[in-house]
Amino acid sequence: MNPFPHYSSHKEKLKLLSSGSLNLEENVRQFIGRIEQNIHLNCYLQVYKEEAIARAQEISNKITNGTGGKAAGMVVAIKDVLSIKDKVTSSGSKILSGFLPLYTATAVQRLIDEDAIIIGKTNCDEFAMGSSNENSAFGKVLNPVDESCVPGGSSGGSAAAVTAGLCDAALGTDTGGSIRQPAAFCGIFGLKPTYSRVSRYGLTAFASSFDTIGPMTNNLYDLALILELIAGTDERDASSAPLPVPRYSVNLTSEEKLTIAIPREYFTAGLQSEIRDKVEELKSFLSVQGYDVIDVDLPMTEYAIAAYYVLITAEASSNLARYDGARYGFRTATSGNISDMYTQSRTEGLGKEVKRRIVLGTYVLSSGYYDAYYAKAQKIRRLIKEDFDKAFQKADIILTPTTPTTAFKLGEKSDNPLEMYLSDIYTTGANLAGIPGISIPLGKDSRGLPIGIQFLTKQFNEENLLKFSNFVVQNFKS
């Protein structure tokens, strides 16, 4: 599925560039050509063609002089919820169409500082709310593996762009699964870091106590490298963790035989049998390899989706109050008093799913219902976190499917929000608990659709996830 690029990781790309056997400008032009040929996938909202070519020339010289950064020449796509100074950042919403940010998100800036080439902005569900990328104000994205299927969401444009070879790597965001779920549906790698590992400065806020930024790639080395570059404390985001960042990409191998836990509650009726089988195969393989594979209980799992959708809608209703037609992007043409202008701008500028969540979130925060819904969901969040803490006393890694099914058909769930929400059943736990998670591609189902397997670990233990994933990728024949 991934005939392009021809190198296996950025490490190899850099070698080819340094030796002169790969011409960076040519490489960028090839990406642009492929983007143009695949316009129907609707992965990109903007492509910075001329700038990317100019950057390629500049960075090529740096590589020749030996002054290139760690990501020199890596062609990266950015989910359109991340700001880049003076570049339209729509967040997939009509209400922000034409909005030009005054600054660049820290995660993006750190890649630019290491000489990555930003090729464009990728499509996503409006304000990152969705699991199928059908909620974008700028049209749906198709899954390159099977164009009749969704690519997953909300970072669907990023996932599809990586899968189709329209960039080397992409940044996505994950509030409830939006990196891992599309990575699984498109057959790539996606990593949701520990909450606060990566600065959220310049990220359009959806649910601020859940939102994370992370890499989406077609190989583990690039995943490790990008995380290493974007992570770390940032004076512009007071919630960013003041902890040192390991050089994840330097050593991805580990002989350590960890304890791997399988949560019983994740293997329920809605799980596609081929995904269940894949987990079983992997389980047996790990046992044979000398890993201790145990069962654990995460008893609060059944409340995760409910708690998630109460809390994130509450946070979203507050975060999205700023889009009033006066300060950003779109304003209605209708005349009237200021109150009419607010109402009409929001009515015309926001999509159906976003409105649904604002209404829900406002309701759960309203006096009289606050304790029954919001406060209760906060308590459940705490209990879910405690479930994970207990499991991690016994195990290093929790192994689960990333999603209950492989990619579903376009339109299949768009009229049924509850069903759509259920596709986040295995991913929201990590966001509620603030722990890191990775989705790696392991084989395909009988329809040729990729299967994603998820590994979770303790906060700030991304290194473990990457090393364990590398062992699986290198040794398990899926």
Q: Could you give phi then psi for residue 175, rounded to 5 degrees?
A: -105, -30
What tokens were used for 365? Answer: 């925060």
Closest contact distance (angstroms) between CB of 289 and ligand GLN is: 32
Coil, strand or helix at 77: strand
Among 60, 131, 400, 470, binds ligand GLN (CB under 6 A): 131
Residue 327 CB neighbours (<10 A)? 9
Q: How far is the CB of 316 from ligand GLN (least distance, A)?
A: 9
Q: Which tokens go with 74?
A: 């890596």
Instruction: Return the residue matching tokens 């309203």.
Output: 366
Judged by CB under 6 A, the residue of 177, 214, 404, 437 near ligand GLN is: 177
Residues in the chain: 478
Instruction: Give catalytic status of residue 79 as yes or no.
Output: yes
| Annotated catalytic residue, options 83, 155, 178, 439 | 178
Q: Is 127 left (phi over 0), alpha (psi -120 to 50) or beta?
A: left
Beta strand 44-47 with 189-192: parallel, antiparallel or unpaired?
unpaired
From the list 27-35, 173-181, 196-204, 229-237, the region that binds ligand GLN by CB under 6 A is: 173-181
Task: Give the pairing of strands 169-174 and 189-192.
Answer: unpaired
Binding to ligand GLN by residue 176, rule CB under 6 A?
yes
Is 450 strand, coil or helix? strand
Q: How far is the CB of 149 from ligand GLN (least distance, A)?
A: 16
For 335, the token pair is 């005349």
Is the Cβ of residue 414 or residue 478 nearer to ligand GLN in the bound state? 414
List the one residue from 38, 60, 123, 178 that touches ligand GLN (CB under 6 A).
Answer: 178
Which stretch, 1-9, 101-109, 122-130, 341-349, contacts ligand GLN (CB under 6 A)?
122-130
Catalytic residue among 13, 70, 79, 87: 79
CA atoms within 13 A on the CB side of 186: 39
Single out the segment in contact with ligand GLN by CB under 6 A; choices: 11-19, 175-183, 264-272, 444-452.
Answer: 175-183
Give strand pairing partners of 215: 171
User: Among the options 154, 423, 439, 469, which is catalytic?
Assistant: 154
Nearer to ligand GLN, 47 or 425 (CB): 425
Q: Which is nearer to ligand GLN, 38 or 154 (CB)?
A: 154
The helix (run of H) or strand (run of E) holding residue 121 is: strand 117-122
Q: Which residue is nearest to ligand GLN (CB)?
A: 178
Q: To which H or E segment does residue 467 belong?
A: helix 462-475
Shortest separation between residue 273's beta carbon and ligand GLN, angstroms:
24
Q: Which of 38, 133, 136, 154 binds ligand GLN (CB under 6 A)?
A: 154
Residue 129 lies near ligand GLN (rule: CB under 6 A): yes
- Annotated active-site residue 178? The verdict is yes
State the nearest-atom distance from the C-beta of 428 to ligand GLN, in Å. 7
Binding range to ligand GLN, per CB under 6 A, among 41-49, 124-132, 136-144, 288-296: 124-132
Greatest CA separation for the chain: 72
Q: Rank residues 152 and 263 by Cβ distance to ligand GLN and give the closer one.
A: 152
Q: Which of residues 189-218 bind ligand GLN (CB under 6 A)?
A: 206
Q: How far is residue 149 from each of residues 136, 140, 144, 166, 464, measured CA to CA in Å?
A: 16, 11, 9, 18, 33
From residue 174, alpha-carbon distances to 67, 210, 215, 409 in Å are 33, 8, 10, 22
Binding mask 420-459 for ligand GLN (x = CB under 6 A): ----x-----------------------------------
Q: How many residues bind ligand GLN (CB under 6 A)?
A: 14
Instruction: Compute the distance between CA of residue 138 and CA of residue 118 in angstroms, rounded to an integer.
Output: 21
Query: Mapping DSSP to helix (H, G, I), strand (E, B) and coil, where does residue 280 land?
Result: helix
Asked whether 72 and 59 are in contact (CB, 8 A), the reply is: yes
- Report if residue 175 touches ligand GLN, rule: CB under 6 A: yes
Q: What part of residues 299-328 is at the interface with ligand GLN (CB under 6 A)?
A: 312
- Determine whether 91 is an active site residue: no
Q: Name residue 122's beta-bridge partners.
A: 44, 79
The radius of gyration computed from the CA coordinates of the chain, to the nearest angstrom, equals: 21
Q: Which of 174, 222, 387, 463 binds ligand GLN (CB under 6 A)?
A: 174
Q: Which is nearer to ligand GLN, 10 or 197 (CB)?
A: 197
* Positions marked catalytic: 79, 154, 178
Write out the residues near ligand GLN by the rule CB under 6 A: 128-131, 154, 173-178, 206, 312, 424
